[in-house]
Structure 1
Amino acid sequence: MAIRLIVQDPDPVLRERAVVVTKFNANLHKLLRDMAETMYDADGVGLAAPQVGISKRVIVVDVGDDHGLIEMVNPEIIESEGEQLGPEGCLSIAKISGDVNRAQRIKLRGQDRNGVTFEMEATDFLARAFQHEVDHLNGVLFTDIAVSIYDTASRPPRNESE
């Protein structure tokens, strides 16, 4: 395992639509392990492969709840409902946070590290984290959709999505 460098905006990889993963092998398993280690080292709650310079549809999320670490390959949001407005930050955008509207509940479909398809539902902060990371896979940053942006020194965010 290794801690990888987190790329910063305006690195072009953050604006690309990430490529669908078709090979479920040792290289993917290493990427997932490295991403989790990198996320934890940076005190984040989520990380997308483009944030470590890899344009692949891979995310890891751990919001500190009973779900623990969730790895998802080729994730897609297949249902969403409700609305929540809340603060977000990003490991790829230093010292800036913002308030972002997200769905309150989502249903996702993706694959595990071995290519097995699964679905899961998420609500509240976990739903926010997943939506933030899936946006990364589509080249969207939270600053593109935030209703307000602020310097983290002037307003400390609550429950920051990374």
Structure 2
Amino acid sequence: MSRSPRKSPNRSGASPAPPPPSAPVPTSPSGPARPRPRVLAAVCLLVLVQAALLVGLGGAWIADLLRGASQLPGATVFLVLFALGIAAALIFAVRALWHGRRWGRAPVITWQLLLAVMAIGWLGAEVAFWAALVLASTVVVVVGLLLPAVLAATSARAHQPDGGASGTRVA
């Protein structure tokens, strides 16, 4: 039985020297920070614009309600709450995507699919520039979220506590 000698980090017992200044500094528990893809920034910006438009739409419905222009006040209140709820969900999803968490993709893509169906319906009723713009934005967001660089950037932190259930194991 031969034993290999144990190697100590250094003979004085002191802790190792800090890394040189040129070494990347970890900014998160998962390691060094990686730059985010520009496509992810564009997708997040488009989704935030959609959320802002939902907030504006909710504000317009509130104004109608306060002026008495709404014929169905109960339905208007529902629409306001729905628009604000979807806007809040989109904002939280964008924040998750920006921080590299994969769970943010599902609500964003679900909303894009619903929005695309509505835009196709609007285009079927009347061809309008704004409806085509809505449809184009949904295509850009979905395709952007499914590009390999964005998938890699939003899947790297799956082991984090709020990274989703797919990163956990069942024994």
When Rg is computed on C-alpha atoms for both structures, the one with the higher figure is 2
More helix by share: 2
TM tier, smaller: under 0.3
TM-score for both structures, normalised by structure 2: 0.24
Q: Which has the higher contact order (CA 8 A, sep 6+)?
A: 1
TM-score for both structures, normalised by structure 1: 0.25
